[in-house]
A and B are shown apart, each in its own frame.
Chain A
Amino acid sequence: MSEMFSIGMSALLANQKLLATAGHNIANVNTEGFSRQRVTLTERPPQFIGSGFSGKGVDIAAINRMGSEFLTTNVRQNAAGEARAAAYSNLSQQVDTLLSDGTFTPAMERFFNSLQDVNNDPSSTPARLVFMNAAETLSDRFQDLEGRLSTMARNVNQDIAAKVGKLNSLSQALGKLNRDIVQAMGLAQGAPPNDLLDQRDVLLKEMSRLANLNVTPQFDGSVNVFIGNGQLIVAGAEYVELAATPNRLDGARTEVSVRKGGVLSEISSALVSGELAGILEFRDQILDPARNSIGRLSAVMAETYNAQHNAGLDVRGAMGGDLFAHGEAVVNRAATNTGTVTVTIDPASLQNLTISDYRLTHDGTDFSLERLDTGSVQTLTGAGPFNVDGMTITVGTAPANGDAYLIQPTKYVARDMALTVNDPLRLAFASPVKSSGALANLSDAKIAAPSVLDPANAALQTTTQLAFNNPPTTYQINGAGPLIPFTSGTNIDLNGWRVQITGTPVAGDTFTVQANANGRGDNANGLLMFGLRSTEIMDSNTATYQDSYSQLLGQVGARTQQAQISRNALQVQLENAEAARDEIAGVNLDEEAANLVRYQQSYQGAAQVIATADAMFEALIAAMRS
């Protein structure tokens, strides 16, 4: 009888645990990372009673969580990939929206249209004022775009610091959990502390969302975590702190570093998934190229317009100066450098200007220049100055082995773009020289309008007479010097200008090139300024200003579109990975309801065993009494 009591009791206890576990599962149905638990029952060892073995009831063998390490790892890795894509896509959308806002191209259009209005009416001061206003607006748009992009760069830095901080606190929490799990497993002689393990999986998933991790389980139940290319950041209860540090060469760029033995080493480039990787990739692939591209456009526009404006004559009769001011190339030097270099944008090779940054290093003999977007390296031999990719690199103090520089040719150019002319009469729309044939000329030969080759030539505006000799196959300049053979239509280059004479001059015909005094109504230089609009001046002479901006928009748009597509795909993959895990580990309320019914019935049965034993006992007592 006592055997029946003991069997009944074991059944009651086992079913209570089954019911409680079902309750625990139901209670945690919405708990993040919870794995449903299952009680494993086992028969008690039987007793030999001579004729055979008699059963002794039920025991609880173990309480396990459902799930597999493989599926959990899978979820973690997919979460890291999805987080990278989501961060990248969200950030690139901001740039995409900024460039698509449709304020830049109208500013350019207005600049060119108002330029033409001045050409139509060069003597009209109101037209000149409108043009100056349009030029200011255009400069403002450049400044504004660069301003907004550099604000994004600062936000990226803050974001990186915040994420690194979060990763550190998660590492710390993981270390604590590791310690708790090791302790719990020691107490339970190896039985798994299911709920602590669930919590650790949640922590690991959150950490994976920030950066790509490698998780290695240890024999004592703890896990070691490696980040990036194998930097240990959590070992048992210990953790290593990450830091957001300024780039060695460019303090305006925050990088992720790991602190080990008091030494910081950068691991940014080793991050390939997680939000941090998405942010860093966005900075490299979208933000920096966009800033450089805007900078390059402003540099080329400012420089080409300055050159053309310099070749013109203003209403007051003076040669034009610069039209725009702009920022210069920036050189960031390592603190350990011995030598110095300066870099300027080379106005003579603007078509070679790229949107890349460069790393310049010295090996003791030569400089080597690495273009960062393509990785191509070239060696610069000698003392310079070196003209490379639209830049002029001038060496100052002698360099030493190990010197390193980061050159940002165009990044900060747009920041300081501004109109420098503030007097409408100082706009140089006229040509500084004009040409004419003498009224007394007997032939129909014509002289073309002069074009300016060298505005700085001191003799540019000196009156120069070309007189045809007898026979008129040669001409003389200012009635002296050699007899120059004449061919109709060939270039005559002198004093910084170029003209052509066409037709058949006769002896005694004279042509004069002289200062364009009193040419208020002249727009010859203005027409050349307008002509820059459709000149393919950028990207190895393949793109106009407008092309360059459209290309930027197209590239950012394509990258953003690509990022959105890849985020959507990775989201689906993550959902599938979570579904696969949930199929095994997730709680199904219907299932638990059914289990409750089943366990309740078993529990009632066990109770009935005890009641029966009791009834048997009562019957026995009653029989003894009678």
Chain B
Amino acid sequence: MRTSTPLQFNRALNGVLSLQGQVQKYQLQVSSGKRLASAADDPVAAAQILNISERLSAVEQFNRNANLVDLRLADQESALTSATTLVQRTRELILQGKSRSLSTDDRRFLAAEMRQRLEELVSLGNTRNASGEHIFAGTAVDTVPFTVNAAGDVVFNGNENVRQLSISENRRLSEGFSGVDVFMGVRNGNGIFVMDVAPANTGTGRLINDALNNAAGYVPDDFRIVFTAVNTFDVINDTSGATVLSAQAYSPGAAISFNGLSVAVTGTPAIGDAFTVNPSENQSVFTTLKNVIAAMELDATSPALSARQTFALDRGLADIDQALSKLISTRATVGARANTLESQLKTNEDLTLQLKTVRSALEDADPVEAISELARHSQILEAAQQAFVRVQGLSLFNYL
């Protein structure tokens, strides 16, 4: 085959040039560690890498969010633990106060300590976190959630909304609870119904031994036990006006059953004395403490007053138990959220690792391959250069 001299030259030169390009490509791979210099090197991988990087950055942010939720849940948990201790202490004080051997002054001392505890509890409800936000104020984070009004009642000024944070692509977690749930929305009595003594009673009768026997038969209506004659009482449904039990014989401590529940009256009720059995209502733990303090400070100068005091302390004990169980269950939920968080963090960690592995497979150059390719192409380039010089040196003119 005939070839022209410029063609020979150009072909040899092009060979050297394209080899130089290859050497440069592998050199770049070795020095950057990346397989792709731009999207054109592998368009599909480039698009995937972009998506993966975006997801990785989001997962990192989710982890930051999760750690923040963790801190905030810890804030609430520690406040709730302190609150539980406080309420337990007041419960002990009530038990002490119930002892009939105590004098009025003794009870006043106990009441004084309770007032302290009440104040501490209010200040716990107003706890702030590291960013200065009130942790029990709902989303009204700038507002002091619990304040004492002129009547001496603790009122809630926050709201019931709780902030949520994203801890994964489609999972949000609440930061905790609003104070309204924890401290205000506590059912009184036994959580289903609540017993009370009418204020106008003159006898020493009081209610004890409440029990729900048949939850299915229970209707949330107001009931009243009225003593119509000596040792005779009626049970009236105040909601419907119907008389449920009529002219029943009174025996102290005997169970009176109606509406799926049973209570007992003890002591000596006077004629006209009334006792109510109403559905439980929400009553704040602060109100409960306030009621107990009032009962403690009562100067029980007569048997009727003494009975009233005993009943009020019993009732306070029941209310306190409701508040305690609310605190404990809330704390358990907070703890459960912390567990959720932990497992989400673990999932996020796995996801991060997986995404990084895929990204690395897509974008990282195989160092062994890149280096050996670089060596191979450098070698070929060297050979091509030598061949170029040799071939260009060949000319018939050398021999003329």
Contact = CB atoms under 8 A, between A and B. Distances in A.
Interface in A540-559: 546-547, 549-551, 553-558
A519 B139 contact: yes
B220 A442 contact: yes
Contacts of A109: 53-54, 57-58
SS class, residues of chain A in contact with chain B? helix
Interface stretch (B146-154, B160-168, B333-341): B160-168
Given A430-B139, A530-B166, A546-B50, A29 B281 contact: no
A498 B64 CA distance: 32
Contacts of A561: 40-43
A121 B68 CA distance: 10
B244 to A, nearest CB: 19
Size class of the B contact interface (CB-based, 8 Å) = 35 or more
Contact of A519 (B7, B161, B396): B161
A516 B159 CA distance: 9
A519 to B, nearest CB: 5
B357 interface: no
B40 A521 contact: no
Interface residues of A, number: 76
Given A123-B142, A560-B40, A590-B396, A553 B166 contact: no
B140 interface: yes
B169 A588 contact: no
Contact of A449 (B1, B53, B133, B161): B161
A312 B37 CA distance: 43
A113 interface: yes
A490 to B, nearest CB: 22
A122 interface: yes
Contacts of B36: 100
Nearest to B398: A593
B282 interface: yes
Given A121-B131, A582-B7, A439 B58 contact: no
B39 A556 contact: yes
B184 interface: yes
Contacts of B47: 550-551, 553-554, 557
A96 interface: yes
Contacts of B6: 29-30, 582, 586-587
Interface in A546-580: 546-547, 549-551, 553-558, 560-561, 564, 575, 578-579
A437 B164 CA distance: 19
A518 B143 contact: yes
A99 B166 contact: no
Given A105-B53, A521-B137, A554-B39, A119 B131 contact: no
A586 B5 CA distance: 7
Given A123-B133, A521-B139, A561-B40, 15 more contacts: A29-B5, A108-B54, A124-B131, A434-B160, A439-B185, A442-B220, A442-B280, A506-B220, A521-B140, A521-B163, A530-B166, A550-B47, A556-B43, A579-B7, A597-B400
25 contacts: A93-B40, A100-B38, A106-B57, A116-B61, A120-B65, A123-B142, A434-B159, A434-B160, A439-B184, A442-B281, A518-B142, A519-B139, A521-B142, A523-B139, A523-B163, A523-B164, A530-B166, A550-B48, A550-B51, A557-B40, A558-B43, A564-B40, A584-B2, A586-B6, A586-B7
Interface of A: 29-30, 36, 92-93, 96-97, 99-100, 105-106, 108-109, 112-113, 116-117, 119-124, 430, 434, 436-437, 439-442, 449, 506, 516, 518-524, 527, 530, 533-534, 546-547, 549-551, 553-558, 560-561, 564, 575, 578-579, 582-591, 593-594, 596-597
Interface of B: 1-7, 11, 14, 36-44, 46-48, 50-51, 53-54, 57-58, 60-61, 64-65, 68, 131, 133, 137-143, 159-161, 163-166, 169-170, 172, 180, 184-185, 220, 279-282, 395-397, 400
